[in-house]
Amino acid sequence: MQQAVFGRAANLKRGDFRGSAGEYFGIWIVNVLLTIVTLGIYSAWAKVRRNRYFYGNSFVDDHSFEYHARGMQIFIGRAIVFAYIILYNIVLTFMPFVGIALGVLMLLLLPWIVMRSLRFNARVTSYRNIRFDFTGKTWGAFVAIIIGGIVALFSFGILAPFASRWLYRYIFNNLRYGDRPFSTDPKIGSLYRVWLPAFLIMIVGMALGGGLGLLAYFAAADSASFGMDDDPTFQIVMAIYGVLIPAFLLFGIAAIFYRIGVRNVVMNATTLDTRHRLFSDLGRLRYFWILVSNLVVSVVTLGLMRPWAAVREHRYVVTHSGIVVDGELGEVVSSIQQSGSAVTAEYLDLEGFDFGF
């Protein structure tokens, strides 16, 4: 099947994750302990250690990725956001109108923050000594994030595929590997095909939530008739919980199904240098099972199996991703190096901070 779609099967370079839960456990437990001891400050350096492990063990064509960020860059970005949130809450308490203005300002700054974070994370990532880059602008982020989010929200999710298309076109059409651009143009029809099952799950969730809400309300009313609780507030609270719990659970399931479907559509519609196509064949049911079972195991073991869960999920995503190369991947790298962009990328200025978006 893959051979029919992509031509020569040898050109499909699947990802390969070579890490193990045992190795990552040592990194994870030190990160957790130092983060607790430093009241969360070390979490920035913990992120660097975690990403370097996962990037360094993610291979394509027998070469791994590298993560070059420094903990201080991440710490400064988080400190800026944290300080702004504290200032916002203080001002909102004593000067509500000024606090509201700060909230609006944060909303307006969000596209710039996301753009800077995407650029930072691209520039601190390399493959075969060639750095990635991101050239997107703030206005593009505003359209993709703010306007796209509003369109999806006020259409009750019906126009979500359009919002997804705007978002991923903004990300991939501004992404570079050395001097070679990525580009994507996912078809709306394909996005709606992965949207439909998620939307149906949401509809079921709303119907189930409404039905359970009514049952909870009348059950509470019956208990009041037997003198158990005649407070009408109790009936309303039971009805609200009856609606929200199943609705949120099924909404979460729908979001996972939609996200994975969109990833497959977008990745398979994305090219590098107009010739080499990215690849993704994540199974939605399989990925959902991995997430649910990981959550159960992590809770039952009080978090001690979290490294196993993280490695298991990452391995599945990496091994079901790849690139279909027109020729040989080494030829692509050599071409970039000969153009001189690899040297430029190698010494890219790493100024900037990771704001956590």
Q: Which 3 state secondary structure label does DSSP give 280? A: strand
Residue 347 reports pLDDT greater than 60: no
**Cβ–Cβ < 8 Å for 219, 238:** yes
Kindly state the tokens that stand for 25. Answer: 């456990």
**pLDDT per residue as tens digits for the range 150-181:** 999 999 899 999 999 999 999 999 999 988 99
Number of C-alpha atoms within 13 angstroms, CB side, residue 277?
17
Model confidence pTM above 0.95: no
Q: What is the pLDDT of residue 6?
A: 46
**Cβ–Cβ < 8 Å for 336, 179:** yes
Of the two residues 195 and 239, the one the predictor is more confident about is 195
CB-count burial class (<10 Å; 0-12, 13-18, 19+) for 171: buried
Q: What is the pLDDT of residue 240?
A: 66
Q: What is the pLDDT of residue 10?
A: 47
Q: How would residue 340 be classed by pLDDT, with cut points 50, 70 and 90? A: low
Q: What is the pLDDT of residue 256?
A: 94
Q: How would residue 233 be classed by pLDDT, with cut points 50, 70 and 90? A: low
Residue whose entry in the numeric block shows the structure tokens 């996301």: 114
Instruction: Please state the rounded mean pLDDT for residues 50-68.
Output: 95
Q: What is the pLDDT of residue 294?
A: 96
Of the two residues 247 and 48, the one the predictor is more confident about is 48
Residue 283 reports pLDDT greater than 90: yes
Instruction: Please state the rounded mean pLDDT for residues 48-58.
Output: 97
**Cβ–Cβ < 8 Å for 329, 61:** yes
**Cβ–Cβ < 8 Å for 272, 182:** yes
Q: What is the pLDDT of residue 62?
A: 92
Q: What is the pLDDT of residue 295?
A: 95
Residues of the chain with pLDDT > 90: what percent?
Answer: 56
Q: What is the pLDDT of residue 7?
A: 45
Residue whose entry in the numeric block shows the structure tokens 């990745």: 267
Give the CA distances from residue 278 to residues 127, 159, 262, 307, 313, in Å, rounded to whole numbers and listed in that order. 15, 25, 14, 28, 20
Q: What is the pLDDT of residue 219?
A: 65
**pLDDT per residue as tens digits for the range 73-119:** 889 888 888 888 888 888 888 888 887 888 888 888 889 988 988 99
Q: What is the pLDDT of residue 345?
A: 40
CB-count burial class (<10 Å; 0-12, 13-18, 19+) for 238: buried
**Cβ–Cβ < 8 Å for 55, 125:** yes
Q: How would residue 15 be classed by pLDDT, with cut points 50, 70 and 90? A: very high
Residue 1 reports pLDDT greater than 50: no
Q: How would residue 218 be classed by pLDDT, with cut points 50, 70 and 90? A: low
